[in-house]
Amino acid sequence: MFHYYRKTAAPAGTLHKGASWLALLGLSFGLGGCLLSGLLLQHEYSYDRYHEHADALYRVNALVATTAGTPEHQATTTPTLARQLRESLPGIANVTRVVHPPATLEHLLRHGDRTFLERGGVLADATYFTMFTYQFLAGNPRTCLREPSSVVLTEPLARKLFGETLGLNSTITVSDGLGTYDFHVTGIVAEPDQPTHLEARFFMSINSPGWGALLDSVQRAASAPVIYSYLRLDEDMPRETLEASLPDFLQQAATTDPTLTTLQALYLQPIRDIHLSADFAQSAPQVRYVYLLFFFLAGTAAIAVTSAVYLVRHQQRQLDPQSATSRQVAGELMQILGLALVLGYGLVELALPLFHPHPAPLLALTSAGWPLYPLVAGMLALSGGLLTGHMPWLLFPTFHDLALVQRPETVSPVVRA
């Protein structure tokens, strides 16, 4: 009996050239498009969700007065704001600051005879790695940025500079628009394998010479907002409660700190929402891209359904009326579905680099999985044939074997009875 049901899952060669193959390609495109859209949507909604305290992490955004007289939302604040918030308001477990050095797209890094320009250099407080989750390959996350002129490298950058040794406790030279300075390597971290808006290749202590010293001097004079400030709230502190106290805090703090006079209001933004909903000059929102993905998902799903319906009807018309059964219909359709899935996976593999040049493991379909795809498709076709051979109503509730799949003009009076 098993041999009989196995044969029902095999193709009968009923697919003809032309429209049927176009329908198969349409089904493959539809399934691949749905899979690609799902992967990209999952990627967009996964930003900064891997941090240990992601639910309690917020960025402090500001409403800033402009010369035109209209307030503007900004993701940056003044240098002293984070420290003052923690000192003045209860319920804040920790704070940290991050600075992208102004007008410095690239830093010149040097170690021995290795010299190259590198993007992604930021200045950060010593508390940065205690708030945000990174995998440390070397160094202590609590102390690595405590001393001036200390720097933490990501693993790919460390290998570019030092090779396999990674260079912990070594010295590198960093040049920016203000000068050239020596930095002591105090930590090596793996690049995050999940997406984050905190993209950086190396982290310099905010107390370092150069921009760090300049920012320290800015703390003693009025300035425009230039620093990203982050808070981690206590577990029992609701966001709404803290935000309700921000207007009074800002009014009182501005009387003693002139750098806060440019801020009209403060509010908190969860870091998990920054990637999709940030709508500032510094970071454009991605939510419009998500809307396009949903539209693409709906379109490819419609193509897949239309193609599948055509293939079902085509199979019904082409079956031999003398031997056709619902098991044969189901087996062939399950095999077609398996083939369409394999082709769809191939389309996704080809399309992913176009949407995301450097996909994270979450987004990538690796070539190592290719041997598994035909196996899964074959098992799907075989199991579909076996299942519908015993219980065809699971897949086709209205199927009654030969009577519904024959051409009406060829149905014998015996069958019609």
- Distance separating alpha carbons of residues 189 and 203, to the nearest angstrom: 10
Position 32 scores a pLDDT of 79
**What are the beta bridge partners of residue 283?**
none
Q: What is the mean pLDDT of residues 398-412?
A: 43
Position 177 scores a pLDDT of 79
Instruction: Say if CB 406 and CB 319 are below 8 A apart.
Output: yes
Tokens for 113, please give them: 């005879």
Instruction: Say if CB 215 and CB 67 are below 8 A apart.
Output: no
Instruction: Say if CB 365 and CB 348 are below 8 A apart.
Output: yes
For residue range 111-152, list pLDDT tens digits in order: 989 999 999 999 999 999 999 999 999 999 999 999 999 999
Domain ranges for the chain, please list them.
Answer: 2-45+287-416, 79-261
- Distance separating alpha carbons of residues 18 and 341, to the nearest angstrom: 20
Non-local CB neighbours of 143 within 8 Å, separated by 6+ positions = 126, 186
Position 406 scores a pLDDT of 42
pLDDT band at 415 (very low <50, low <70, confident <90, very high): very low
- SS3 label, residue 225: coil
CA angle 86, 90, 94 (to 5 degrees): 40
363 or 106, greater pLDDT: 106
- Distance separating alpha carbons of residues 165 and 114, to the nearest angstrom: 15
Position 135 scores a pLDDT of 95
Q: What is the mean pLDDT of residues 322-331?
A: 56
Non-local CB neighbours of 198 within 8 Å, separated by 6+ positions = 48, 98, 132
- SS3 label, residue 111: strand
For residue range 279-295, list pLDDT tens digits in order: 565 455 566 667 777 77
Position 413 scores a pLDDT of 46
Q: Is 91 left (phi over 0), alpha (psi -120 to 50) or beta?
A: left
Position 218 scores a pLDDT of 61
User: How many residues are recorded in the chain?
Assistant: 417
154 or 224, greater pLDDT: 154
Position 316 scores a pLDDT of 58
Position 402 scores a pLDDT of 37
Of the ranges 302-316, 357-371, 374-388, the best mean pLDDT one: 302-316
Q: What is the mean pLDDT of residues 21-37?
A: 77
- Distance separating alpha carbons of residues 42 and 356, to the nearest angstrom: 13
Position 11 scores a pLDDT of 44
Position 15 scores a pLDDT of 44
For residue range 64-79, list pLDDT tens digits in order: 777 666 778 888 888 8
Of the ranges 19-23, 119-123, 209-213, 386-390, the best mean pLDDT one: 119-123
CA angle 164, 167, 169 (to 5 degrees): 155
Position 18 scores a pLDDT of 58
Looking at every residue in the chain, the average pLDDT score rounds to: 76
Name the least confident of 180-184, 370-374, 411-415.
Answer: 411-415
- Distance separating alpha carbons of residues 94 and 131, to the nearest angstrom: 7
Task: Quote the DSSP letter at residue 135.
Answer: -
Going by their DSSP bridges, the two strands 57-64 and 263-270 should be labelled as antiparallel
Tokens for 281, please give them: 């000059």
Helix (H) or strand (E) holding 173: strand 171-175
- Distance separating alpha carbons of residues 404 and 417, to the nearest angstrom: 13
Instruction: Say if CB 74 and CB 281 are below 8 A apart.
Output: yes
Going by their DSSP bridges, the two strands 202-205 and 121-124 should be labelled as parallel
Task: Quote the DSSP letter at residue 99.
Answer: E
- Asked whether residue 234 carries a pLDDT value surpassing 90, the answer given is yes
- pLDDT-above-70 percentage for the chain: 67
Position 230 scores a pLDDT of 96
Q: pTM value?
A: 0.74
Position 283 scores a pLDDT of 54
pLDDT band at 361 (very low <50, low <70, confident <90, very high): very low
- Distance separating alpha carbons of residues 188 and 185, to the nearest angstrom: 8
Of the ranges 18-22, 83-87, 351-355, 390-394, the best mean pLDDT one: 83-87
pLDDT band at 5 (very low <50, low <70, confident <90, very high): very low
Position 332 scores a pLDDT of 64
- Asked whether residue 167 carries a pLDDT value surpassing 50, the answer given is yes
Non-local CB neighbours of 137 within 8 Å, separated by 6+ positions = 155, 166, 188, 189, 190
pLDDT band at 320 (very low <50, low <70, confident <90, very high): low
Of the ranges 34-48, 192-206, 345-359, 385-399, the best mean pLDDT one: 192-206
Helix (H) or strand (E) holding 301: helix 287-318
* Of the candidates 381, 367, 307, 288, the residue with the CA atom closest to the CA atom of residue 33: 307
pLDDT band at 403 (very low <50, low <70, confident <90, very high): very low
- SS3 label, residue 141: coil
Tokens for 235, please give them: 């577990």
Of the ranges 199-203, 359-363, 378-382, the best mean pLDDT one: 199-203
